[in-house]
Structure formats: structure tokens, C-alpha cells
Structure 1
Amino acid sequence: MSVLLEFAMFPTDKGESVSPYVSKVIKLIRESGVSYQLTPMGTIIETDTVADALAIIQQSYDVLEPDCDRVYSSLKFDIRKGKSGCLKQKIASVENIIGKVNT
């Protein structure tokens, strides 16, 4: 199974620049070992189960919670049985049609 999760999570009570807090979340994701892709507007991860993806969400919140009184989060899922490696395959599929894209 492939569970793609695109999400953004950041504090809303820390001013305009929240990169120090987002960096904590990205570090956690990197250390978890799941495949991920950072984008300017969020992060995409790929896990084997919905439970694994939700665990990353919980851990991300747990990293922010001690220092933040208010945390915003948005989530989008793409859950597909019988597949894996969709994070890279979806990009490769488009590149097969139009050539290299920025990632």
C-alpha cells in the first residue's frame, strides 16, 4: 500500500518567519526514515499504512507543542492499495510525457 500525505504544520503564534519550527518537523521526518519531499508550501511523505502517516502527524505536533500555543495544520491523503514508491513514480510518469520537471 502507498499512503501519500501532503501536509503543512506550523505555529501561528510565532510571527512571520516560522522556519525554525518547520525545521524541527522536517528533521523529525528525515530521522523517521520515510520517503519525503519538502515543498515551499508543505511536505509530502510516503508511508506503508495510514497509521504510520498519522503517527508522523502526531510526532510532528509533539515536537511543536512545548513551544507553541497554537498550531495550524492541513492534510491531504492519497491512499492506494497494491502500490509503493508513488512519491517518485507520479513525478516520473509526468516526466515520461513532457521531460524533466523541477522538483
Structure 2
Amino acid sequence: MTSMLPQWARLAWVAALAGAAVVHLAHVVAMDGRHRWWHAGHTVMAAAMAAMYALPRMAHPSVYEAGAVLFSAGGAVLVVTTVSLWWREAVWTTAGCCRRRISW
């Protein structure tokens, strides 16, 4: 058995998730700052989920092994980016403590 879903359902999910990835990708191009990173994360998530439905694990184990490595690397990049954005947007006081400046 290579998939729990029938072929038509897998293709429907791949199409829906590819559409979601395209919409988020358009927002990545149009936005900046934390909004760009939020949409970039959702673009990657939708693309990975589309790959999950298009390439079942049992038939393509190497894709899933590579995905695990990419997920770990992506997580590390997101941690570094989040900390650097937090550091950049923080307002430091003379006492050395930090207040958050939130701009939506």
C-alpha cells in the first residue's frame, strides 16, 4: 500500500495546497518584516504538505529523510531570525532592561 487516500483525493489536496503556497508566496513578495517571515513559513509548510500528498512515504522514503533535515535546518534559521528581529525591535532602557515596542 502506497497511500491511504484515493488518487483523486491526493490530487485535490496537492492542488489546494499548491494554491495556498502561491497565495502566501505572493504575500512574501509584497510584504516586509515579520509579515514576510510569517508568509514564508506558511509557503514552506504548504509546499511540504503538497509534497506529502504527492509522494507517499512508503514509495519515497528518501524524500522524507531529506525533508527531516530541511525541517531541522529551517527551524534553526527561524530561531535565529526570530531572536534577531526581537533584538532589533526591542527598546533598551538605561537600566539595561528591555521593553517591547510593538508595531503592527
Give me the TM-score of the superposition, normalised by structure 2: 0.25
More strand by share: 1
Which structure's residues are more often helix, by fraction? 2
Larger RCO (CA under 8 A, 6+ residues apart): 1
